[in-house]
Amino acid sequence: MKILVANLGSTSFKYRLYSLEDGDERMLAKGGYERVEDYASVIEDCLATLQSEGHLIGDSDLDAVGFKTVLGKDLSGCVEADDKALTALEGFKEVAPAHNPAYATGIRMFAKVMPSVTRVALFETAFYQWVPKAASIYAVPQNWHDAGVRRYGFHGASHKFIAERSAQLLGRDDVAAKVQALYQKGDTPVEGAPLRVISCHLGGSSSVTGIKNGVAIGTSMGFSPQGGLPQNNRVGDLDSMAVPYMMKTTGLSLEEAERQLTQEGGLLGISGVSNDLRDVKAAAESGNERAQLALDALVHSIRHWAGSFVFQMGGCDAICFTGGIGENNAELRTDVCAGLEGFGLILHPTTNATTREEGDISASNSRVKAFVIPANEELVVAREVSRFLQAQPA
């Protein structure tokens, strides 16, 4: 089975082609385009490239195109990317303006270029379908609830991969095997001894999720990807009165307030240097106090959310770091785990400092494990699309 995974941004298009056969998972090709203005042309170029490289002969050689869609109004899970999915994307385009319009465009373009190929959407919110209602509800008026205002959660494909892979690394194949069926079945996967994992997806966009027996019990991101941790230029958690206060006292329009929060906030807003953590870190090392404060605020927020999930789950068996920052910033991992020896979490200084690929970075006497697990969101999409296709009636 050949599945093409399409990852679309507001001006980017990245793809990976997978072959999945009887447990054999292979990535056949990958590529991408930046500063995209015409999605139809880059999609056609992508398919022409795959054909010229011998990976595809024609439409019949491709079983499906999978999309890592973000957020749909009144729709989640792994579903056919049909008119209903497009309507769901359109319904929340104001909530995820950098992603929803791009995915809607991409789905339409693939339907035009390859009309006979099945299109499947895996919504990022799908991993959070089993979060307790108390962990997803906001204390807003009922008509806000009715309009869809709630904590959805994002980075679902990444956190689901962490749920599966961490279970394997901890010797809990019972959890790993049953997690794989989560999107297709409504029941929670495991009974018995709990497996409690804190998943930290840290990159340009960041979130922390608590996972118990393979099921998300809560996450830092909220109604939109703007919530939770301070991110590259996303503010993270903010008191709801801050926006009307700034509008009334400074004369900001709603549009300008939104622009400032989404383009000038986050790590950039605190540091005044950059929205790239590498630049912020370099500035902090040169003595820039605001840059150091941005680093401290990020670490504080990660620890805040991780600690809350430890409390909710009654303990922790492992903390996992993924994403560009989580995988490559050993100093940040050290700061996140600092002072937790009494809790049972001890990093191995040398292993932590040198690990960039998958690995156990905890000390031999650490009761709580710490892992670096590189993100593989596209593989999760390919797997779920394959399961979706197999579940369809013949």
**CATH number of the CATH domain containing 343:** 3.30.420.40
Please check whether residues 107 and 196 belong to one and the same domain: no
Residue 61: predicted pLDDT: 87
Please check whether residues 258 and 166 belong to one and the same domain: yes
| Residue 373, annotated as binding a ligand | no
Q: Domain for residue 289, yes or no? A: yes
Please check whether residues 89 and 167 belong to one and the same domain: no
| Residue 276, annotated as binding a ligand | yes
Are the C-beta atoms of residues 209 and 216 closer than 8 Å to each other? yes
SS3 of residue 209 by DSSP: strand
| Residue 328, annotated as binding a ligand | yes
| Residue 272, annotated as binding a ligand | no
Residue 191: predicted pLDDT: 61
Please check whether residues 298 and 348 belong to one and the same domain: yes
Q: Domain for residue 149, yes or no? A: no
Q: Domain for residue 147, yes or no? A: no
| Residue 45, annotated as binding a ligand | no
Please check whether residues 57 and 169 belong to one and the same domain: no
| Residue 319, annotated as binding a ligand | no
Are the C-beta atoms of residues 29 and 50 closer than 8 Å to each other? yes
Residue 98: predicted pLDDT: 83
Please check whether residues 46 and 170 belong to one and the same domain: no
Please check whether residues 160 and 295 belong to one and the same domain: yes
| Residue 137, annotated as binding a ligand | no
Please check whether residues 188 and 318 belong to one and the same domain: yes
Please check whether residues 207 and 356 belong to one and the same domain: yes
Please check whether residues 23 and 163 belong to one and the same domain: no
Q: Domain for residue 135, yes or no? A: no
| Residue 365, annotated as binding a ligand | no
Q: Domain for residue 110, yes or no? A: yes
| Residue 7, annotated as binding a ligand | yes
Residue 318: predicted pLDDT: 98
Please check whether residues 202 and 309 belong to one and the same domain: yes
> In total, how many domains does the chain have?
2
Domain region containing 80: 2-122
Residue 53 has a CB neighbour count (10 Å cut-off) of: 12
Q: Domain for residue 183, yes or no? A: yes
Residue 192: predicted pLDDT: 62
Give the strands of the sheet with 64-67, arranged side by side: 24-33, 13-21, 2-8, 64-67, 118-122, 78-80
Residues 6+ positions from 45 with CB-CB distance below 8 Å: 33
Residue 180: predicted pLDDT: 73
| Residue 277, annotated as binding a ligand | yes
Q: Domain for residue 362, yes or no? A: yes
Q: Block means of pLDDT (10 residues each) for the chain, length 394 residues?
A: 90 92 90 87 91 85 94 95 97 91 93 94 94 96 96 95 95 84 59 87 95 95 95 93 97 95 94 95 97 98 98 97 96 98 97 96 98 93 93 81
| Residue 377, annotated as binding a ligand | yes
Residue 189: predicted pLDDT: 52
Please check whether residues 113 and 260 belong to one and the same domain: no
HSE-CB of 205 using CA atoms within 13 angstroms = 17
Q: Domain for residue 386, yes or no? A: no
